[in-house]
Amino acid sequence: MDFLRNGILFLSTKSKKENTPSDVIDNNMTDLYRLLPEEMEAMVIGMGQPRYRADQILHALYHESPKDIWDLHQLPTTMLDEIVAAGYTIGSANEVHRVVSEDGDTTKMLLNLVDGTLIETVLIQYESSKHNGHPRTTICVSTQVGCAMGCVFCATGQMGFERNIRAEEIVAQIIHFAQLLRKREQHVTNIVFMGMGEPLANYDETIRAIRLLTNQRAFGIGQRSITISTIGITQGIDRLADEDLQVGLAISLHAPNDKLRQWLVPTAGPHSVEDLISAGRRYFKKTGRRVTFEYALIDGINDSPKIADELACLLRGNGSHVNLIPVNPTAGDFERPARGRILAFEQILNDTGINCTVRVEKGSEISAACGQLRTDVVESIKRPQMHYKPDKLPKSD
């Protein structure tokens, strides 16, 4: 198992293949953060305790961020003993590193999970866009360690897949930032599933996390404040549309035709561009929520006026929104297009009546793109005689 001592992270020599989703957390402990309110009630009732104990635990979990069972001061010691004896625990992640951008708007946390796996989470604050007098505060969570989809421009995709992140580990990412924000008298206003991994390839844990996060007796954020971003697993999109959830959906399109898309997303195979557009349409019909198409703009690859025309043709009259993301040069030999070329691309879409925005870049100097901080840290560890020290993070290339 990897561990941190004196600020130095030691990585185990265990091969990635051994680290399968089923064997990573086999210590027979259940994190209380995994339990939905009705499950928490069943647990306390099973212990012969009154129902209100469940709400006391939930309140403590989501408003006080206890570090272990013994921090649940509201409960009698005998009950705490019983909870521990029954195999419950608290806490699926420890913060091992934090980086803040120069403007202070973006904070990136590297968390160490109980099996030593490293994952990253980003907080982005938009001072200019206030929400009830508070800055919009978005947390970008990871759903998988690595990703099997292999997108050529994505640092996570280039790591390969290690394991799925469990619901309580997804919730832990939010809890860490919620605690930090509480100290500033701020709160989480939005959650986007746009960190490491493909959320719809880890469907059940992602949905459980969303149910925990949106339940008023648990974290209690509005369903409409959550957005799931997917590379376009159409069966997952249809399943999501059938849940009684009102979450936003973003589909990562990146190309207007299958040939180019399959080059950028090597695993896109079974899902054609047309399939994705239809899945987006079905999602809108079922949920009433308009879908956003994300499009990573890469210099000389998918940013020409001709391709913009093709994209405009594809999406015309669809009512969707396009989010252009100038690529972060993290993986492969990719560059973001010059400003003029980005604006020209945007103009072509706007001229066709397609609602389109260019994503404001946040925190690029702290490797805020998907999978980058972890890549930086792990790369530094792999180099001989270089260790990860919290005060000395190597810069990304």
What residues are labeled active site? 120, 370
**If binding is defined by CB under 6 A, does position 197 make contact with ligand SF4?**
yes
Rounded Cα distance between 167 and 306, Å, is: 43
**If binding is defined by CB under 6 A, does position 157 make contact with ligand SF4?**
yes
**If binding is defined by CB under 6 A, does position 199 make contact with ligand SF4?**
no
Rounded Cα distance between 39 and 18, Å, is: 31
Tokens 């290690």 — which residue?
162
Contact 108, 98 (CB under 8 A): yes
**Which residue number, 92 or 229, has a Cβ lying nearer to ligand SAH?**
229
Binding test (CB under 6 A) with ligand SF4, winner from 291, 370, 377, 393:
370
Rounded Cα distance between 150 and 148, Å, is: 6
Q: Judged by CB under 6 A, how many residues of this single chain contact ligand SF4? A: 12
DSSP string, 177-213: HHHHHHHTT----EEEE-SSS-GGGGHHHHHHHHHHH
Rounded Cα distance between 327 and 251, Å, is: 16
392: DSSP letter: B
Binding test (CB under 6 A) with ligand SAH, winner from 40, 83, 139, 154:
154
Rounded Cα distance between 204 and 274, Å, is: 26
**If binding is defined by CB under 6 A, does position 328 make contact with ligand SAH?**
yes
**Which residue number, 263 or 309, has a Cβ lying nearer to ligand SF4?**
263
For the window 330-359, what string marks contact with ligand SAH as x by the rule CB under 6 A? x-----------------------------
**If binding is defined by CB under 6 A, does position 369 make contact with ligand SAH?**
yes
Binding test (CB under 6 A) with ligand SF4, winner from 31, 115, 162, 198:
198
Rounded Cα distance between 388 and 377, Å, is: 6
**If binding is defined by CB under 6 A, does position 296 make contact with ligand SAH?**
yes
**Cα dist. 225→23, 65, 193, 248, 370 in Å?**
33, 21, 11, 8, 20
The least distance separating ligand SAH from the CB of residue 120, rounded to whole angstroms, comes to 12
**If binding is defined by CB under 6 A, does position 151 make contact with ligand SF4?**
yes
Count CB-CB contacts under 10 A for residue 92: 24
The one of ligand SAH, ligand SF4, none whose footprint includes residue 328, by CB under 5 to 8 A per kind, is ligand SAH
**If binding is defined by CB under 6 A, does position 156 make contact with ligand SF4?**
yes
**If binding is defined by CB under 6 A, does position 109 make contact with ligand SAH?**
no
Rounded Cα distance between 346 and 176, Å, is: 37
Q: Which residue is nearest to ligand SF4 (CB)?
A: 157
**If binding is defined by CB under 6 A, does position 154 make contact with ligand SF4?**
yes
Rounded Cα distance between 90 and 60, Å, is: 11
The least distance separating ligand SAH from the CB of residue 292, rounded to whole angstroms, comes to 10
For the window 175-214, what string marks contact with ligand SAH as x by the rule CB under 6 A? -------------------x---x----------------
Rounded Cα distance between 397 and 383, Å, is: 15
- Angle of helix 167-183 relative to helix 203-214, nearest 10 degrees, comes to 40
Please report the sign of the dihedral spanned by the C-alpha atoms of residue 6, residue 173, residue 21, residue 267: negative
**If binding is defined by CB under 6 A, does position 294 make contact with ligand SAH?**
yes
Enumerate binding residues for ligand SF4 (CB under 6 A): 147, 149-151, 154, 156-157, 197-198, 231, 252, 370
Enumerate binding residues for ligand SAH (CB under 6 A): 153-154, 194, 198, 229-231, 252, 294, 296, 325, 327-328, 330, 369-370
